[in-house]
Structure 1
Amino acid sequence: MTDGTPLPNRSSRIAGFHKKSPRERLDLVASFADLAPDVVERLSDFGNLPPDLGDRLIENVVSTMNIPIGVATNMKVDGEDVLVPMATEESSVVAAVCNAARQNYDTGFATSVSGNLMIAQVQAVGISDPHAARIRILERRSEIQAICDGCDPVLVRLGGGFRDLEVRVLDTLGGPMVVTHLIVDTRDAMGANAVNTMAETIAPHVARWSGGRVYLRILSNLADRRLARAHAVWRTAEIGGPEVRDGILSAYHFAEADPYRAATHNKGIMNGISAVVLATGNDTRAIEAGAHAYAARSGRYTSLTRYETTAEGDLSASIELPLAVGLVGGATKLHPTAQACLKILGVPTAERLARIIAAVGLAQNFSALKALATTGIQKGHMALHAQNIAMMAGAVGDEIETVARTLVERGTVRVDVAEKVLQDLRKS
């Protein structure tokens, strides 16, 4: 049955499912969902990820979801030309970065980072004297450093490890909490495993020193000690004149003032950033959580970018956000495609990767604001999206381009219209 009608006698309780091979699991899922043979065959194709590796990256693997990887050209970051792999399913994202970078190629993007510091949090509750407990924990700084560095001697040998200690008293709905922050230099790793291990190791000591109970001990994805920044100038004469510049500034002012607009504004930034993060095997969810939290650090949600006018009348743009990315550990080290993408980028350190990603986010944002200030976002986006609609209507080969072009010319990009255009094309 493939019409959505539940199959009889089905159960999601499958004993030993996790112990089976990917293909055995897929066959069980196919039986459960009544999948057609061609669908099963398609799911069995793991693409460029070996099935045994996929089986170790996550649990209960049955297939992979292949996302297209495009390459953004024209990017010059800190005087160096780079090609940037971007993994995304959304039309116009890669083109937007290429176009923005082309328009300021001569000057490019200047970038900086604040370092590789991550934060691990240890939460203690049920403390009768929380402010005194804070002091007691701070007095143990040297002991805490020794315990933390002992968790990862390799990291210390590479120049990383414990760097600082913060202790905060939070007033919460459940009463005061004492929250200990371990500040750790994770070098070229994203660092989640390292700082989580340190937090869990130090937790019983914090409980003893504070006189409370420890619950959560985990990293914070608001990595505001690991900021990446990018700055660029687009010459007014080369982007369409003062009217276009002022339209971009007005769009930024809108996003800065209004969280409803800022949410979409920042989502566009993350279109570019998340695409590079995913292509390099880094954690898109961590980066997105940190970015949006950082956008609200003032107490209201606002733009991650800023736009101004230079003394010469050109458009100056900048971005600053947390970018906890790494070159070692997890999929960045294990996934062959992620490794290939890192090779294309030619990044020797995690800091360099973060710099390039910040520049991509700024380029993405500039293109989006320019489109909004001129032709509207749909013209360029829908020109590319029309090809997807054509394929959804059944177009193949050269038909795809012909149907897409017709949809754009008519100004109506819909599946039903595409089906009619395709039907007429095939009749002729």
Structure 2
Amino acid sequence: MSANSRIPGFYKLSPSERFKTVVKQSGVAEADIANLATADAEMLKIADRMVENVVGTLSIPLGVAANFTINGRDYLIPMATEEPSVVAAASNMASVARLHGGFHTSSDQPIMISQIQLVGARDPHGARLRLYERRQDLLNLANEQDPMLVKLGGGAKDIEVRIVEAGDRTYVVLHLIVDVRDAMGANAVNTMAEALAPLVSEIAGARVRLRILSNKADLRLARVRATYDAESLGGPDVVDGIIDAYVFAAADPYRAATHNKGIMNGITAVVLATGNDTRAVEAGAHSHAAASGRYTSLSHYEKDAAGNLVGTMEVPMAVGLVGGATKTHPVAQAAVKLLGVKSAQELAEIIVAVGLAQNTGALRALAAEGIQKGHMSLHARNIAVAAGASSEEIDEVVARLRKDGHVRIDKAEAVLAEMRSGR
């Protein structure tokens, strides 16, 4: 039977009814996709409120990174990731950074930008100045939409009006600049932009098209620096190797993409664990990496006078503690409690510290013994499990795979068969 994706009223069904419908419409045996459903009834109810057409949930391993000292305070940091070696590398580099005071961070106020795009203005430059003339009226109207945010010290703070040339078209684009306090801020700034659209259109004498936040959160940067002891890293040659790896990434976008992916291994894991928007943070980070017009490294490495490695980084970090999955997902709530953070800025600074630690760990592995040695030892455990090894068999399978030098599912299956036939 071929699949039929036409399911009228699918969204009206309960998760269990949807799953049964998916089995029927897909033509796939129920036993083959049974793991799509979840036995956790309470979690299923929560998931059904979070997104559409829910049939189940997907569990991601959640580890806790240790050894982190950030601005003189110790943190245990939850990280949700499926990739081996990420939590271990971050924890390891945090222990090295501790020798010189750990991570030192700072961050901007939690400012987000919403864009209102105007089309068809007869006098774009005149429209731009008319909008500036009505700045206070626009800010007042925006702040009427969220008096609670204003009461907390946030709200619309300013506007910026840009002329954007795009081929044969000229757009007037108004940026509404909003302090969103402890929220990620998407809902707040989008609501304000929607409310402003009619007045902006009237002032500019043009039609409003898009009114939506920008994930290029370059007014909401978080910064981190750390000094890593040269001897603890493996000596001067390892330090030089890490700097060579950084310089390569700074110069070559092909290397920078993988270099920055390593940073995001750490950042995304904490963003996900705390129920924040991983896609928004990733989009902001990668746009920042290309801010000069050429894609480059997000981090920077150099040596201090004593020959120790100094790592620094500055990244947009639009995360919050209120709203979204952070307030609806019980694991995210627990992760935030474990961190003990009191503000979105504190959370942002923790996240960039983990990103820098993870990046340093990956570069150290590359500079010292190659990335595969540590990574593959953990990957081998996953391969052993996938091949069907029991908890009592895993260590022996891993040892044989590593000795052989081929960490593959077919090799693991052969090792298992040999082990079991010899019993």
When residues 47 and 359 of structure 1 are mapped into structure 2, their CA distance, relative to the original with a 3 A threshold, is: farther
1:256, CA displacement in angstroms? Answer: 0.3
Residues 201-216 of structure 1 correspond to what in structure 2 (within 5 A)? Answer: 201-216=195-210
CA deviation map 1:11-55 (0-9, x unaligned): 211121100100000011112234444455433325496222111
Matched with 2:86 is 93
CA deviation map 1:160-219 (0-9, x unaligned): 101111000011124111000000000000000000011111111111111111100000
When residues 46 and 75 of structure 1 are mapped into structure 2, their CA distance, relative to the original with a 3 A threshold, is: farther
SS at match of 1:193: helix
Identity %: 57
Matched with 1:3 is none
Alignment partner of 1:77 is 2:70: yes
When residues 52 and 217 of structure 1 are mapped into structure 2, their CA distance, relative to the original with a 3 A threshold, is: same
When residues 341 and 47 of structure 1 are mapped into structure 2, their CA distance, relative to the original with a 3 A threshold, is: farther
> Which AA in structure 1 matches 2:8?
A
Q: Given that residues 116 and 186 in structure 1 are in contact (C-alpha distance below 8 angstroms), is that contact kept between their aligned partners in structure 2?
A: yes
1:239, CA displacement in angstroms? Answer: 1.1
Q: Given that residues 234 and 368 in structure 2 are in contact (C-alpha distance below 8 angstroms), is that contact kept between their aligned partners in structure 1?
A: no
Aligned partner (choices 309, 319, 323) of residue 313 of structure 2: 319
Matched with 2:240 is 246
CA deviation map 1:141-171 (0-9, x unaligned): 1101111100101111111101111000011
Over aligned residue pairs, what C-alpha RMSD do you find?
Answer: 1.2
Matched with 1:175 is 169
1:338, CA displacement in angstroms? Answer: 0.2
1:77, CA displacement in angstroms? Answer: 0.6
Residues 188-337 of structure 1 correspond to what in structure 2 (within 5 A)? Answer: 188-337=182-331
Q: Given that residues 321 and 344 in structure 2 are in contact (C-alpha distance below 8 angstroms), is that contact kept between their aligned partners in structure 1?
A: yes
Matched with 1:13 is 6
Residues 389-428 of structure 1 correspond to what in structure 2 (within 5 A)? Answer: 389-428=383-422
Alignment partner of 1:340 is 2:340: no
1:348, CA displacement in angstroms? Answer: 0.7
Residues 326-405 of structure 1 correspond to what in structure 2 (within 5 A)? Answer: 326-405=320-399
Alignment partner of 1:184 is 2:193: no
Moved over 6 A (4+): none
Q: Distance in 2 between matches of 1:47 and 1:262?
A: 41
SS at match of 2:74: strand
> Which AA in structure 2 matches 1:110?
H
> Which AA in structure 1 matches 2:245?
A
Please report the TM-score for the alignment, with normalisation by the length of structure 1: 0.96
> Which AA in structure 1 matches 2:312?
S
Alignment partner of 1:55 is 2:76: no
Q: Given that residues 68 and 88 in structure 1 are in contact (C-alpha distance below 8 angstroms), is that contact kept between their aligned partners in structure 2?
A: yes
> Which AA in structure 2 matches 1:427?
S
SS at match of 2:203: helix
Please report the TM-score for the alignment, with normalisation by the length of structure 2: 0.97
Aligned partner (choices 121, 125, 143) of residue 131 of structure 1: 125
Q: Distance in 2 between matches of 1:225 and 1:153?
A: 22
> Which AA in structure 1 matches 2:350?
I
Q: Given that residues 4 and 26 in structure 2 are in contact (C-alpha distance below 8 angstroms), is that contact kept between their aligned partners in structure 1?
A: no
Q: Distance in 2 between matches of 1:238 and 1:48?
A: 48
Matched with 1:109 is 103
> Which AA in structure 2 matches 1:179?
V
1:420, CA displacement in angstroms? Answer: 0.7
Gaps of 5+ in 1: 1-6
Q: Distance in 2 between matches of 1:80 and 1:47?
A: 36
Gaps of 5+ in 2: none
> Which AA in structure 2 matches 1:24?
E
Q: Distance in 2 between matches of 1:14 and 1:81?
A: 52
Q: Distance in 2 between matches of 1:108 and 1:293?
A: 28
Alignment partner of 1:43 is 2:36: yes
CA deviation map 1:100-159 (0-9, x unaligned): 011122310000001100000000011111111100001111101111100101111111
Alignment partner of 1:32 is 2:37: no
SS at match of 2:98: coil
